[in-house]
Amino acid sequence: MTTLEFFGAYIFYYPIIMSLIWMIGGIYYHFRYERNQSEYPALTAHPLMSVLIPARNEAPNIRETVEAVLVSAYPNYEVIVINDASTDETESILRQLVAEHPQVRLLNLTVNQGKAAALNYGFLMSKGEIIVTVDADCMLDARALHWMAWHFINFPRVGALTGNPRVRNRTTLLAQIQTAEYASVIGLIKRTQRVLGKVLTVSGVIAAWRRQALLDVGLWSNDMITDDIDMTWKMEKRFWDVRYETKAIGWMLVPETLWGLWRQRCRWAQGGVEVIRRHRNVWSDWRQRRIWPLYIDYVLSIIWAHIFLVCMLFWSYGQLSGDWFFIAQLGNPVALWNGSIIAVVCMLQFAVSLLVDNKYDKRLWLTYFWVIWYPVIYWIFNAMTVLVATPRGLTKKFGKAAIWASPDRGLRAVTQDAKQK
């Protein structure tokens, strides 16, 4: 086998093998944990939960986010909104909310210090045993706090829990593809990681943390571009149990422009590289051996993205120049029979996600058509973001605060569907 043939086989078989693993893990998780869940778990206590909402320039979204928390079925909570030097109407809206609702408190920062710093300041104001972090565009389901509390009350080693983010703006092709992605890729990955006992990405959209665990790992690192992934690894390295709860649902907004999506995925890709750089010391500690397979998968996915783009360039050159050497050596992962097989696997994977996610999102099947575009559009797009972001992650100097700007929240043509669920 030549090098080019090996590359062609790698970019073809790696996603198929990982897809099969995710489907098996998702189905097992569904029958093991989800299938017979009740609407509400029985709670023996109601510890105070502190909901932290960091926000910067979120005037169009912040009111509905806070008000969604205020109609929670859980009886004992406080809401702390951290305004990170917003330059729009966010502060005035928050002051109105504070005047209207006694459970809401406001912390105003005069200088943009980043999401992690905002969360750390909010933590210092909080009083709860359980800290819930919610993005400023996320509308919590009324049952979310209830299900989160159940894990922390009944399992003392649970240090963190990631919720189930669902897309609520579905007005464009990009949003439809992301809806399918969160169900058929991200949701199945989290289920599989939970089965393996090592959830390595707690979603920043909706998450919960034990106060003691946060203090144990030193709170959020303000020099990491993806503070949520970094915090998850810190928890795992300190042997806290990190879990995934599908009924802790948060309805979020996703980017609906290519530029907004590009910025988001570059940030995710760079953050992943930063995390494996900072936490490479897991290889020197035998006790961390359960993290090793997932660390390897992280690295393999980065390598795959680079090889995928190189092979696409060679294949495109072969097509344009008529040089059949490259075409014969590589095939094409998104065309001909290779692409057909991958498309079938993608459809099968989404069918599995429909099986396990349908009860949370009754309209999920409407996005089934769009999943066919995932390998065609998203593979190329995401591989390009990895190519751009990897050097940034490898060369970044740690210690400098990672400040933020509010991301693309879609076109704001949001229907009432999510609010009615």
Task: Report the share of the chain in percent with pLDDT over 90.
Answer: 27
Calculate the average pLDDT of the chain: 83
pLDDT of amino acid 68 = 92
pLDDT of amino acid 352 = 84
Per-residue pLDDT reduced to its tens digit, 131-147? 999 998 899 999 999 99
pLDDT of amino acid 318 = 65
- Which band of pLDDT confidence, cut at 50, 70 and 90, is reported for residue 48? very high
pLDDT of amino acid 226 = 86
Question: By the 8 A CB rule, do 229 and 271 touch?
Answer: yes
The CATH number linked to 216 is: 3.90.550.10
Residues 54 and 173 in one domain: yes
**Among 154-168, 211-225, 334-348, which stretch is predicted with the lowest mean pLDDT?**
334-348
- Domain end, chosen from 203, 237, 258, is at 258
**Among 29-43, 175-189, 313-327, 359-373, which stretch is predicted with the lowest mean pLDDT?**
313-327
Residue 266 covered by a domain:
no
Kindly tell me if the per-residue pLDDT of 222 is higher than 90. no
Where are the alpha helices (H) located in 101-186, listed in sequence order? 115-125, 144-154, 173-181
- Of the candidates 171, 67, 66, the one whose C-alpha atom is nearest the C-alpha of residue 412 is 171
**Among 150-164, 176-190, 275-289, 365-379, which stretch is predicted with the lowest mean pLDDT?**
365-379
Kindly tell me if the per-residue pLDDT of 213 is higher than 70. yes
Kindly tell me if the per-residue pLDDT of 181 is higher than 80. no
Question: By the 8 A CB rule, do 378 and 184 touch?
Answer: no
Residue 268 covered by a domain:
no
Kindly tell me if the per-residue pLDDT of 413 is higher than 60. no
Residues 200 and 98 in one domain: yes
Per-residue pLDDT reduced to its tens digit, 294-348? 889 889 888 888 888 877 777 666 666 665 555 555 555 545 556 667 777 777 8
Report, as an integer, the average pLDDT of 160-179.
84
Per-residue pLDDT reduced to its tens digit, 60-77? 889 999 999 999 889 999
φ, ψ for residue 19, nearest 5 deg: -60, -45
The more confidently predicted of residues 213 and 198 is 213
Report, as an integer, the average pLDDT of 213-231.
90
Q: How far apart (Å, rounded) are the C-alpha atoms in residues 392 and 266?
A: 10
Residue 361 covered by a domain:
yes
The more confidently predicted of residues 307 and 414 is 307
Residues 201 and 349 in one domain: no
- Domain end, chosen from 258, 280, 298, is at 258
pTM of structure:
0.85
Residues 243 and 356 in one domain: no
For the chain, the first-to-last Cα distance in angstroms comes to 53
Q: How far apart (Å, rounded) are the C-alpha atoms in residues 103 and 129?
A: 16
- Of the candidates 314, 330, 308, the one whose C-alpha atom is nearest the C-alpha of residue 15 is 308
Residues 221 and 369 in one domain: no
Residues 332 and 397 in one domain: yes
Residue 280 covered by a domain:
no
Residues 254 and 297 in one domain: no
Q: How far apart (Å, rounded) are the C-alpha atoms in residues 245 and 405?
A: 29
pLDDT of amino acid 397 = 83
Residues 355 and 239 in one domain: no
Kindly tell me if the per-residue pLDDT of 81 is higher than 90. yes
Residue 111 covered by a domain:
yes
List b or e across 141-175, with b for residues whose CB sees 16 or more CB atoms inside 10 angstroms.
bebbbbbbbbbbbeeeebbbbbbbbbbbbbebebb
pLDDT of amino acid 220 = 92
Residue 119 covered by a domain:
yes
Q: How far apart (Å, rounded) are the C-alpha atoms in residues 73 and 66?
A: 14
pLDDT of amino acid 129 = 93
Q: How far apart (Å, rounded) are the C-alpha atoms in residues 184 and 299?
A: 21
CB atoms within 10 A of CB 226: 24
Question: By the 8 A CB rule, do 143 and 154 touch?
Answer: no
Give the number of domains in the chain. 2
Residues 230 and 347 in one domain: no
Residue type, 144: A
CA angle 326, 329, 334 (to 5 degrees): 85
List b or e across 233-264, with b for residues whose CB sees 16 or more CB atoms inside 10 angstroms.
bbbbbeebbbbbbbbbbbbbbbbbeeebbbbb
Top-ranked range on mean pLDDT: pick from 21-35, 210-224, 344-358? 210-224
pLDDT of amino acid 420 = 38
Residue numbers of the domain that contains 403: 3-22+289-411
Q: How far apart (Å, rounded) are the C-alpha atoms in residues 295 and 299?
A: 6
Residues 13 and 145 in one domain: no
- Domain end, chosen from 242, 258, 274, is at 258
Residues 249 and 103 in one domain: yes
